[in-house]
Structure 1
Amino acid sequence: MNAHALPASQQHRTRLLLVDTEGFFVDDVGGTLRAHEGFAVVAVTRSIEDAHECAARHTPDVIVIGWGEGSRAFVHATLAGRSDGQPEPLVVIVLRRGITSVPGLTSLSLLPNVAVLMQDQFDRLLPRHGPSKPAERAH
């Protein structure tokens, strides 16, 4: 999807980039996000390399990323790369169910634009807030 060609109905929505290198949340969390009227998923990627390109091209408001190989470097690079006057995105790191501690995650969680959620928390949080519409299938 081209971020500059969003339909008028999506122009005032929070723009999301979903990065799921481990393949563990795009289907369920992504479906919940797509169903929420306040969000527009501008891109979905399953590799860190593609995530860098998508983040630069689409300049999302929020990046939802699963914790996996390369996630920490991606988060630091993304936050450091927004020096051209654009606001830094909020980065939401989703941890796989059952994971409670990850080495190196504490330093990221202290950054002002980073939130860390376990997948169960994410699943419970979204249905409570804001109107939603029937889930759409990604193309």
Structure 2
Amino acid sequence: MDACASPAPQHSCTRLLLVDTDDLFLGDVGGALRAHEELVVVATARSIEDAYDCAARHAPDVIVIGWGKGSRAFVHATLAGRSAGVPDPLVVIVLRRGITSVPGLTSLSLLPNVALVVHDQVEKLLLRHGRSQPCGQPH
């Protein structure tokens, strides 16, 4: 099965790429996100390699990625590799509860399109972002 395969959205909404290599948030949040019509999960990646392919193929508005091996390089590459005229995606880095210090995380948190959240706050953040762009409006 193609790792980036997903049904085509019926209308224009906030498009999400979910990258969860460690089963940090997909089980809890993935289904809840799919239930909101203003959010469309365009792809789900279970590896960083698949995440690169999915991001290039789908050009999502929001990338939700669990903090793990390869996450930092992926975030930097994603934000550096966008084409002119294409807005950078919002990158939401999901942390496990209790994480207080991770090398490289502070520098990522200073980037303008990066948000850090604890795994149980993902849905709340994305719903707030999703409402900012009504369904049916072109991106």
Name the TM-score class by shorter chain: 0.7 to 0.9
Greater Cα offset, 79-88 or 51-60: 79-88
Distance 2:48 2:59 in 1: 15
Q: Check the 8 A contact 1:32/1:126 in 2, yes or no.
A: no
The CA RMSD measured in Å over matched residues stands at: 2.2
- Count of matched residue pairs: 126
Judged with a 3 Å threshold, the aligned counterparts in structure 2 of structure 1 residues 57 and 102 are, in CA distance, closer, same or farther, namely same
Judged with a 3 Å threshold, the aligned counterparts in structure 2 of structure 1 residues 53 and 101 are, in CA distance, closer, same or farther, namely same
**1:6 match:** 9
Matched, 1:73 2:50: no
Greater Cα offset, 64-73 or 89-98: 89-98
Q: Check the 8 A contact 2:24/2:119 in 1, yes or no.
A: no
Q: Check the 8 A contact 2:67/2:95 in 1, yes or no.
A: yes
Distance 2:6 2:127 in 1: 30
Distance 2:6 2:22 in 1: 24
Judged with a 3 Å threshold, the aligned counterparts in structure 2 of structure 1 residues 65 and 127 are, in CA distance, closer, same or farther, namely closer
1:121 CA drift (Å): 2.6
**Residues 82-125 of structure 1: per-residue CA shift (max 9 Å, x gap):** 024211100000001222321110000000000000113335x2
**1:135 match:** none
1:128 CA drift (Å): 7.7
**1:33 match:** 33
Distance 2:56 2:127 in 1: 31
**Residues 26-74 of structure 1: per-residue CA shift (max 9 Å, x gap):** 1112122112221000000110000000000000000000000000000
Residue 37 of structure 1 aligns to a residue in which SS?
coil
Matched, 1:106 2:106: yes
**1:93 match:** 93
Greater Cα offset, 27-36 or 72-81: 27-36
**Structure 1 residue ranges (4+ consecutive) displaced by more than 4 angstroms after TM superposition:** 126-131
Q: Check the 8 A contact 1:34/1:40 in 2, yes or no.
A: yes
